[in-house]
Structure 1
Amino acid sequence: MHGNIVFFLKNEGYGFILGANKIRYYFNIHNMNYSSPKENDEVSFTPQPAPSFKLSPTADNINLIKASSKHLHKFKNTPAYTKATAEEYVDFIKNTKVQCTKCGRYMIPYIIYPNDGLKRSICPFCGKTYKYFSPCFIATAIYKDPLANEVIAIRRFRDEFLSSFFIGRMLIKIYYRYSPNCAKQINKHKILHLILKPILNLIAYIYG
């Protein structure tokens, strides 16, 4: 199948492709057969079923067809405004932008870079945090690679599940407050590694 990359976070290791069938497909960097992917690259890929009914289907064996540094502007100069055009435009926006959970508007998040590097993205309309980009300290300590398939899957669990509701966002904040010290203890004590890895393996299996 052919499609376009509509969202990719290099530091997080995952993104989404909008297929020719207008379905969004999740992928991680290990599914790609070329380097330096960017938004609106035209690609071919092998669609795979979703691991759960609540998740997106996935894309595998991704190959570059045509590189692009531009965003999609399919409707920029539409000659005639019709009901069909309007419906197609709404569908296009929903598949190429993300929806703020506070104000409900579809947008391209602003990335915040504090002095210590990439941290989070926010809604440009209301300022609400859309996504955190802090490293997964505990997962990285267990799998020894910040771009391991399991670590990328756990980031997806954080971004698509936990960040979607209030208690989940509180858990994320608690995690990033205490996880650096927890990661140090995991490296020191093998028993913690043995206890936590099966739990993380289950999350990674569901969201990978």
Structure 2
Amino acid sequence: MQEADAALSELPADFASVTGERLVNLITRFRDHPGLEHLLNQLDERERRLNPGWDWRQLETDQDRQITALIASGMDQLDAYAQVYRLDVDDLHRQQARAHLHTQRLPGESADALARRLYGEWIEAQFLAAEHATRGVLVNKRGRAHGVDGRSLLHGSPRRAAAYASEELKAWWHTHPRLTLTEFRAQLLHRDADVKAARRHQEDRT
């Protein structure tokens, strides 16, 4: 709850002066955090203090109720929103991904620099998982003879990876697909140019 309390402390005393964009940023920031419910409850309480008798249920629309019903039936929240308002769900997911990425960017960091940094973190996580799954057998006999580092097979040239990866690592890749930086960036940023470049990479393998 400390993070949620810290977020609340950033809000001005006058709730009415808080912009919608700022509230959206706060909710996005805590959407996967246990503090989200606490944050929303506190915002409701602040609104009630400013407007005695206020109840968020009074503001519910038919669309709100439809979305709530769809979510209760097991549908993803974003999918439910898209269905009720007849929006492109893929576009909504891209917008959500971009908003989430924005919260991870360091001051002055470009989108490409962010992608490279997150790719490096992902590669490290992949390396630890692959090493555990293969019991440390990442490189085949030929690769060991050439002094190949197993971590280096998780990125870079697919041909090199195929040439030096152990059978254990290749089997692991069937359930944990290997991604180049180009492919990772395409999945992360959803930019048309990146998606096309990633598609070319995949076509070159076949």
* Shorter-chain TM-score tier: under 0.3
With normalisation by structure 1, the TM-score equals 0.24
Q: Which one has the largest radius of gyration?
A: 2
> Which one has the bigger strand percentage?
1
With normalisation by structure 2, the TM-score equals 0.25
> Which one has the bigger helix percentage?
2
